[in-house]
Amino acid sequence: MVYAKNVGLDVDTMLKSISTGAASSVQMNNVASRALQDDYRPGFFIKHFIKDMNLADEEARAADTELKVLEDVLSMYKELEQEGMGELGTQALIKYYNW
């Protein structure tokens, strides 16, 4: 979404285009349009997502498994929480990219 916006694409059209193909996801279909409207009301709170992802990260480390994407996304959400956004929905991740 950020890429589309930055290169001048209509983000809503881009989302509609990819929502019917292999790039589609439940998260994208359910909350992307809300993020486009600056609607960050939680379906799932950032603070709870962080708790769950911390558990997943601990389990991965205990299994001596590096999950780089998990670590990166968790770091992004933690930064948002530190900025006072823990009560927002997970779609607020787009704010990490200065949307």
pLDDT tens digits, 67-77: 999 999 999 99
To the nearest whole number, what is the mean pLDDT of the chain? 94
Residue pLDDT, tens place only, 47-89 = 999 999 999 999 999 999 999 999 999 999 999 999 999 999 9
Find the angle CA(60)-CA(64)-CA(68) to the nearest 5 degrees.
55
Parse the chain into domains and list their residue ranges: 1-39, 40-99
Q: Rounded to a whole number, what is the distance in angstroms from the first to the last CA of the chain?
A: 9
Domain 40-99 is in which class? mainly alpha
Q: Which residues of 6-30 are buried (b: 16+ CB within 10 A; e: fewer)?
A: eeeeebeebbeeeeeeeeeeeebee
